[in-house]
């Protein structure tokens, strides 16, 4: 099973412009993320795919591998799909460019799903973590997911799902962590299918997969990555470094 990691890396960021090129202990955020992905030793290859010549040069000049996007893209999946379309790979793992503290254990669990999926019933695999704080559950920036009894995603939403009409029912609230492992054919199908109403409404690209009948296997983890979304996050990361 030929497995690669792809790190989509946009230069422009709404909340923190140019965050991937910020200094983090003597190296840029994107270079540290790339090196962390390589150092997991889980992948046959690791690529950064970007719309920025600055990010491209940063990776190439430091001995890494990068691909320039040809087209404009609305989602990370689209950017990755264009990059891998002509690569001989089976499984593609999307690693977030702003998470330089990669933990190998949950990524290994994602890959194990495909190694054991002999009937190819899984199109994608992704991660979720239980949340219990009321404010965190109600925060629309935290994407929630509900699954069936076999761990396949039924729906993702920015709203509270399931709605706790009976607070004694014992439901668990699961936050989606946006790290994906794709079968290449599922990723390319996404790339060639138009956005439908659920994805357009929630602004969640994973809903396109569900709307077209793709099966997303969810894996529970206790590891929550450290993303750099704001200047304050960067300062925390610098302290960790």
Q: Which pLDDT tens digit goes with each residue over 112-167?
A: 999 999 999 999 999 999 999 999 999 998 999 999 999 999 999 999 999 999 98
Euclidean distance between CA atoms 67 and 61, whole angstroms: 13
Contact 126, 206 (CB under 8 A): yes
Q: Has residue 189 got a pLDDT over 70?
A: yes
**Residue 78 or residue 163, greater confidence:** 163
Euclidean distance between CA atoms 99 and 102, whole angstroms: 6
Contact 227, 96 (CB under 8 A): yes
Given 3-state DSSP classes, what are the helix, strand and coil percentages for the chain, each rounded to the nearest 5?
Answer: 30, 25, 45
Q: Has residue 71 got a pLDDT over 80?
A: no
Query: Apex CA 129: angle with CA 123 and CA 133, to 5°?
Result: 145
Confidence of residue 44 (pLDDT cuts 50, 70, 90): very high
The pLDDT assigned to 15 comes to 67
pTM of the model: 0.87
Residues sharing a CB contact under 8 Å with residue 33, sequence separation 6 or more, in sequence order = 7, 20, 95, 96, 97, 98, 99, 100, 102
Question: Across residues 10-19, what is the average pLDDT?
Answer: 78
Q: Has residue 14 got a pLDDT over 70?
A: no
Q: Has residue 69 got a pLDDT over 90?
A: no
Confidence of residue 217 (pLDDT cuts 50, 70, 90): very high
* Range of lowest pLDDT (58-62, 129-133, 216-220, 230-234): 230-234
Euclidean distance between CA atoms 233 and 15, whole angstroms: 11
Euclidean distance between CA atoms 138 and 124, whole angstroms: 26
Euclidean distance between CA atoms 215 and 153, whole angstroms: 7
Q: Has residue 48 got a pLDDT over 70?
A: yes
């Amino acid at each position: 099973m030929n497995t690669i990691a792809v790190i989509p890396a946009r230069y422009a960021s709404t909340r923190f412009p140019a965050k991937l090129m910020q200094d983090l202990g003597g190296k840029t955020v994107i270079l540290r993320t790339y090196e962390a992905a390589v150092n997991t030793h889980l992948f046959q290859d690791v690529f950064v795919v970007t719309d920025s010549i600055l990010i491209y040069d940063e990776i190439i000049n430091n001995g890494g591998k990068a691909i320039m996007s040809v087209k404009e893209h609305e989602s990370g999946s689209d950017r990755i799909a264009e990059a891998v379309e002509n690569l001989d790979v089976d499984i593609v793992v999307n690693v977030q460019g702003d998470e330089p503290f990669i933990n190998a254990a949950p990524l290994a669990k994602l890959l194990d799903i495909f190694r054991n999926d002999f009937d190819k019933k899984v199109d994608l695999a992704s991660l979720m973590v239980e949340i219990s704080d009321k404010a965190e559950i109600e925060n629309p920036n935290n994407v929630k997911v509900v699954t069936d009894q076999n761990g396949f995603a039924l729906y993702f939403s920015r709203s509270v799902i399931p709605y706790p009409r009976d607070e004694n029912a014992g439901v668990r609230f699961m936050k989606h962590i946006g790290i994906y492992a794709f079968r290449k054919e599922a990723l390319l199908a996404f790339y060639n299918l138009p956005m439908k109403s659920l994805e357009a409404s929630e602004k969640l690209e994973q809903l396109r997969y569900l709307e077209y009948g793709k099966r997303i296997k969810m894996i529970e983890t206790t590891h929550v990555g450290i993303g750099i979304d704001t200047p304050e996050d960067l300062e925390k990361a610098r302290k960790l470094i």
